[in-house]
Structure 1
Amino acid sequence: MVVNQNQNTHVLMVSAALQGHLNPLLKFATCLISKGILVTIATTELGRHRMLKHAAVAANPSIKLEFFSDGLDVEFDRESNYDHWLETLRTKGRENFSNLTTELSQHTKFSCLILHQFVPWFIPVAKEHNIPCAVLWIQPCALYSIYYRFFNKLNDFSILQNPNQPLELPGHPLMELQDLPSFILPNIHLCFQKLLSEFFTYLLDVKWVLGTSFEELEEEVLEVMAGDGVRPMITTVGPLVSGFLLGKKEESGVSVDMWKADESCLKWLDGKELGSVVYVSFGSIIVLGQQQVENIAMGLLKSGKAFLWVFKRTAGSAVELPTGFLDAVGERGLVVNWCSQEQVLKHKAVGCFLTHCGWNSTLETVVTGVPVIAFPEWTDQPTNAKLLTDVFKMGVRLRKRDDGIVSSEEVERCIREITEGPAAEAMAKRAAELKEAAKKAVENGGSSHRHLEKFVSDIVG
C-alpha cells in the first residue's frame, strides 16, 4: 500500500551500468516506490546507450533516470580493461556524479543516497552533500562477513598462503580455497581488492547496510555477526526479486534490460513436461572458451534431458556451438541469446538450473524453488556455490579438471545427479522449503518486511 505522506521523501541511487549491479537497485527502488517514496537512479552514459538501443526503459512517475559520464567513451571495452575503467570511474566518474548531485539537489532534497559496494568512491559524495548514506549489499550476507573479517584483519586467512589448510570462520561452513571469493585471492583481481578495501574504509560514513538476502536463508552467519558486534550490521530486506515470483501484484517499476530477451523460449517451455527442462545460463558477463562450450554442449546432448541454453554471443568472440549440435538435439533443446530469466525459472517445465551462481541468479532460483548445478567462475560465485550446496543444500557443484575446464562427462553426471540421483528428492524438497521461507520473509510481519519498514521510517523521519 502506498503511503501518501512519504511522497515528499526522495532517494538517490547510483551504480555503474552493469546489469547485475543495476538489477538489485531497481528491485529495491520498486519496494520503496510501494511505500510512496520517490526514486532517482543515476548510472553511467553506457546505461543510457544500451537501454535506448533496446527501448527497454519503462516510465514510472515515481522513478527518474539520470546519467553521468564515467570518463570514457561508450565504445571503450570496459570488460577487458577493468583496471583503467575502475580508476577512471573513481576519479572522473566520482567528479561527474558529484556535479550531477549538485545539479539535482537544486530542486530536490534527497533523504538518502543508496549505492552498492562496487562504487565506494561515491560514499564521500553523500557526505559532501550532507545526504545520509545507505549501502545495498548486492551479495550474500556471508560475503559481507568474509570481506569484513578479511579487510579488518580479524581472522586468520593463512589459507591464501597455504591452500591445503581449510579456512574456519565463525558462522561459515569449513571452506577450501575453491570456495573463497576470488577478490581476496593473492595476485589476481587486485583492482577489485583495492576497491573493496576502500569500501571498508569508507564504511564509517555509512548509516545503513541493507542486504538483498533474507534472514531465514543465512540465519547462522547473521547471528554470529550480530554477536561479534559487526558495525554497521547488515540488515536483510530481501529477497530482492520481482514481486510476481513472491506471489505479489507487480508494482510498475522501471526496466533496464541491456539485452533484448527472446520471448519464444516461454512458448517452447509450454510444450515441455513438468520439471523436465535443464535451464542453462551464465549471466551477463562471463564468456566461456571454445573447449568449455563444447563440453557443456556434449554433456547436455549425452544427458538425454531437454534444455534451454542462454548462449550470449558477444562482439568479437569466435566461440561457437559445436558443428551439428543443434541438429543432433532437435526439438529437445533450444538455444537463445538472452531471456527473461525470472519468467523462465518460474515456468513449471524447468526442473534445474545450471548456473554461474551470481547472487541475483541465486536469489531467483531460491525464490522459485529450482535446484541448481553450480558452475562458479569468479568474484562471489565460488562462495555462493558453497552456500547452495552445503548450507542451502539445494544443489550440486561441477568439478573442474586441473586445467580449469569441466568435462562433458562431469556435466552429464551432475545433470543426472540433480534430476534422478539418490539425493535429488531431498534437494528438491529443500528448495521448496526455502521458496516458502522467502515468501514469508516479505509478507506483513516477516523479517524483511519489518526491516524495510524500519528503514523507511528512518529516512522519512
Structure 2
Amino acid sequence: MKNIHVLAIPYPAQGHVIPLMEASRCFTNSGLMVTFVNTEFIHKRVMSAGSEMDCPRDLMRMVSIPDGMEPCDDRSDIGKLTKTMFQLMPTKLEELINDINKDDEDKITCIVADYYMGWVVRVARKMGIRLASFCPSSAAVSAVIMSVQKLMDDEVINCNGVPMQDKMIQLSNSMPFMDPRNFIWACVGDSTTNKIIFDYVVLDGKEAAEAADHIICNSTMELEPGAFALFPKLLPIGPLLATNRSARQVAHFWNEDSTCLAWLDQQPVCSVIYLAFGSFTVFDQRQFEELALGLEDTKRPFLWVVRPGTSGSMDYVYPTGYMDRIGTHGKMVSWAPQQEVLNHPSVACFMSHCGWNSTMEGVSNGIPFLCWPYFADQFFNKTYICDIWKTGVGLKKDDTGIVTREEIKSKVEQLLDNDIIKENALNLQEKVMDCVRAGNSSNKNLNKFIDWVKEENEHARVNETSKLMNE
C-alpha cells in the first residue's frame, strides 16, 4: 500500500525546528509518514541532544542536506547563512526528493515548508508536488509578509524594505499597531543583513504563501482574531506544544538539564522567577552582571538558563562572590526542559525574549511575562503580551542601553504584585487550551489539513490507476 508521505523542512533555528517537529508528530499520529529535513549542522545538534519523538519510528525519518557553509563558518551570521542556504539548498532538496521518489510506495505526497524557506515553492512547482506553508511565528508576522506590496504602495517601506515613516501603522482596524522599524526584516542586524532577510525570506515567503494550498500557523483564533480575519487562508493549529503536554519537547539543540526540576520541587508555590532568552539573544558582560545583581536584589528564588556559547568565545563572569551569596537560592542551567519548567507549580513568572515558541509555552501554562525582546518578531510579540493580552510587563533600557538591576527588581515586584495580570494569564490559558481540544478550532483546522493531505494522495492514486488502465 502506498504511504501518504509528507516532507517537512524548517528554517535552521531552534524556534522553527521545534514547532514544525511538533506538527510532524501530529501528522504521524494520524498515520502520515514524515521525512523531516534539517541542515546537516542542525541535524547533528538535534541528534547529539538525544531527544526522541514519541511517535512510530517507521513513520518519522530524520534526514539532512547541506546548508552551503563551511564547518568553521559562523552560523550566527544570519544574513550569510540565509543567502548561502537559499543558493545551494534548492538543488540539494531536489536531489533528496528524487532519491526518495525512486520507491513508488514512498513518493512525497506534500511538502510542508517553513514560511522562512520560501525558495521551496520553486522546487515544489518544478517537481509537481503539493505545497503547504508552515508559520512558526505569529499570524501577525505572516500578515505583514503577505502585505509587503501594500506596505510599499502606501510608502510605509521602500522597495528594499527600509521603513519610510516614523509612526505606528495598522494592517487593519482589528489588528494592533505596529512599528515599521520592528518589522522582522528591519531589526535583525545591520543594513546588509536586513536587506538579505527582506529579499530572501520576506519576498520569497510572500511568493510561497500565495502559491501554497494551505498556510498552517502555530497560533489560535483566540490570540489573533484580527490577523486571521484579514487573511482567512491562515489556518491556526496551535499552540502545538499544548497538544503534547504529556511528553517532553524534542529537537532541542542543547542537552536539557533536568536537575532543575528537582530544585523546583524544593521551592514554594508561585515563588520562582524563570529566565530563558532563546537561542540567539546575546548580552554583553555589563548587561549580564546587571541581570545577575538584579535577580539577587529581588530576594526571590530564580532559575536562569545561561546558554552555552552565549558570549562567543568568552564565558560570562559572575560578579565577585555572587555564587556564594546566592547559594541554593538561584540555579543556573545551560538549557532547561522548558515545557516542564513552565508547567511547574513553583514558577511565578517567565522573563523571556518573547520568541513566539516561548510565548506560546508561557501562554499555554498561564504564566505572566517579564518581556525583554532581542530582535525580529519579538518586539511585536511583546506588544501582544503587554498591550493586547495584558499578561505581562516590559523591561526598559536606560539611556546607555542597559536594563539596570533597579529596573529588574522593580518590574519583578510590579508583576508579581499585580493580581489582574495573573488572572489575565490564567484566563488566556483556559481559552488557548480549549482551542486544541477535540472538535474545537485549532484541532478542527489540524484535522482539516491532514484530511486535505490524505485526499490529495487518494486523488493521485486514482489518477495513477486510471492512467494504467488506459494504457
TM over 0.5: yes
5+ residue gaps, structure 2: 456-471
Structure-2 residue corresponding to 1:174: 177
Looking at structure 2, the residues matched to 361 and 254 of structure 1 have their Cα atoms a distance apart, in angstroms, of 12
> CA 1:359–1:295 in structure 2 vs 1: closer, same or farther (change >3 Å)?
same
What are the superposed Cα offsets for residues 388-429 of structure 1, whole Å, 9 maximum, x if unpaired? Answer: 111111000111223332111111111111111xxx211111
> CA 1:44–1:243 in structure 2 vs 1: closer, same or farther (change >3 Å)?
same
> CA 1:151–1:291 in structure 2 vs 1: closer, same or farther (change >3 Å)?
farther
The residue identity in structure 2 corresponding to 1:268 is W
What are the superposed Cα offsets for residues 239-274 of structure 1, whole Å, 9 maximum, x if unpaired? Answer: 1115343xxx54xx9832221111110000000011
1:265 aligns with 2:260: yes
Structure-1 residue corresponding to 2:235: 235
Looking at structure 2, the residues matched to 40 and 160 of structure 1 have their Cα atoms a distance apart, in angstroms, of 39
Looking at structure 2, the residues matched to 200 and 261 of structure 1 have their Cα atoms a distance apart, in angstroms, of 35
Question: SS of 1:120's equivalent?
Answer: coil
The residue identity in structure 1 corresponding to 2:16 is H
The one of 121, 138, 141 equivalent to 1:140 is: 138
Structure-1 residue corresponding to 2:112: 114
What are the superposed Cα offsets for residues 113-171 of structure 1, whole Å, 9 maximum, x if unpaired? Answer: 001122111121111121110111111111112222234436552793343x3323312
User: Which structure 2 residues correspond to residues 75-94 of structure 1 after superposition, within 5 A?
Assistant: 75-79=72-76, 81-94=77-90
Looking at structure 1, the residues matched to 68 and 3 of structure 2 have their Cα atoms a distance apart, in angstroms, of 33
The one of 331, 336, 353 equivalent to 1:334 is: 331
Structure-2 residue corresponding to 1:62: 59
Question: SS of 1:334's equivalent?
Answer: strand
Percent of residue pairs identical: 26
What are the superposed Cα offsets for residues 254-303 of structure 1, whole Å, 9 maximum, x if unpaired? Answer: 83222111111000000001110000010112121111111111111111
Looking at structure 1, the residues matched to 279 and 259 of structure 2 have their Cα atoms a distance apart, in angstroms, of 19
> CA 1:244–1:56 in structure 2 vs 1: closer, same or farther (change >3 Å)?
closer
The 8 Å contact of residues 389 and 396 in structure 1, kept in 2 or not, is answered as yes
Structure-2 residue corresponding to 1:459: 453
The one of 207, 210, 213 equivalent to 1:204 is: 210
The 8 Å contact of residues 115 and 208 in structure 2, kept in 1 or not, is answered as no
| TM-score under structure 2 length normalisation | 0.88
Looking at structure 1, the residues matched to 220 and 392 of structure 2 have their Cα atoms a distance apart, in angstroms, of 19
Question: SS of 1:191's equivalent?
Answer: helix
Query: Larger deviation: 406-415 or 144-153?
Result: 144-153
1:193 aligns with 2:198: yes
The residue identity in structure 2 corresponding to 1:350 is V
Looking at structure 1, the residues matched to 28 and 48 of structure 2 have their Cα atoms a distance apart, in angstroms, of 26
The residue identity in structure 1 corresponding to 2:82 is L
Give the superposition deviation at 1:201.
2.7
5+ residue gaps, structure 1: 227-232
Looking at structure 2, the residues matched to 220 and 83 of structure 1 have their Cα atoms a distance apart, in angstroms, of 31
Structure-2 residue corresponding to 1:322: 319
The 8 Å contact of residues 156 and 180 in structure 2, kept in 1 or not, is answered as no
Structure-2 residue corresponding to 1:217: 223
Looking at structure 1, the residues matched to 101 and 377 of structure 2 have their Cα atoms a distance apart, in angstroms, of 35
Count how many residue pairs are aligned between Structure 1 and Structure 2: 439
RMSD of aligned alpha carbons: 2.2
The residue identity in structure 1 corresponding to 2:208 is Y
